[in-house]
Amino acid sequence: MQSGPDEKTALPLDLKRLDLVRVLADFDEGVIIADRKGRIVFYNRTQGKIDDLDPRAALGRKVTDIYDLNTDTSIIFRCLKTGQPIINDPLIYRTHLGKTAYTINSALPLFQGQEIVGAIGFVKDYNLLQNAFDAAAQALPPAADRFNNGTQYTFGDIVGQSPGFLRAVQIARMAAGSPSSVMLMGSTGTGKELFAQAIHNQSPRKKYPYMAINCAAIPENLLEGTLFGTARGAFTGAMDKPGLLERANGGTIFLDEVNSMPTGLQAKLLRVLQEKKVRRVGSPDETALNLKIISSVNQAPRRAIAEETLRIDLFYRLAVIYIRIPPLRERGSDIEALTCHFMALFNRTLGKRVKSAAPEVMDCFMAYDWPGNVRELQNTVEAAMNMVAGTDEAIDASHLPAYFRGQPDAIAKTRLGETRHPAAALETPASTLKAAAGTPGRSLTEAQSARETELICRALSACNGNVSRAARNLCISRQLLHYKMKKYGLDRKAFCRRQQRALD
Mean pLDDT value across residues 265-273: 94
Tell me: pLDDT of 459 over 50.
yes
pLDDT band at 421 (very low <50, low <70, confident <90, very high): very low
Half-sphere exposure of 13 (CA within 13 A, CB side): 2
Give 47-68 pLDDT, tens digit per residue. Answer: 988 888 888 889 999 999 988 8
Percent of the chain clearing pLDDT 90 (strictly above): 45
DSSP state of 362: H
What was the pLDDT predicted at 238? 66
Give 9-40 pLDDT, tens digit per residue. Answer: 556 777 667 788 888 988 889 999 999 999 99
- Say which residue, 448 or 317, is predicted with more confidence: 317
Helix (H) / strand (E) containing 111: strand 100-112
pLDDT band at 420 (very low <50, low <70, confident <90, very high): very low
- Say which residue, 156 or 8, is predicted with more confidence: 156
3-state secondary structure of 19: coil
pLDDT band at 495 (very low <50, low <70, confident <90, very high): confident
Helix (H) / strand (E) containing 34: strand 30-35
Domains of the chain: 19-124 (3.30.450.20), 140-326 (3.40.50.300), 329-412 (1.10.8.60), 417-503 (no CATH)
What was the pLDDT predicted at 6? 52
What was the pLDDT predicted at 120? 95
Contacts of 292 (CB under 8 A, 6+ apart): 179, 181, 182, 199, 200, 203, 205, 251, 252, 253
CA pair distance 198, 292, nearest whole angstrom:
13
Give 183-232 pLDDT, tens digit per residue. Answer: 999 999 999 999 999 999 999 999 999 999 999 888 877 888 899 988 88
CA pair distance 504, 502, nearest whole angstrom:
5
Question: Dihedral of the CA atoms 172, 191, 252, 202 (nearest 10)?
Answer: -40
What was the pLDDT predicted at 376? 93
3-state secondary structure of 50: helix
Give 341-397 pLDDT, tens digit per residue. Answer: 999 899 988 888 898 898 888 888 988 889 999 999 999 999 999 999 877 789 998
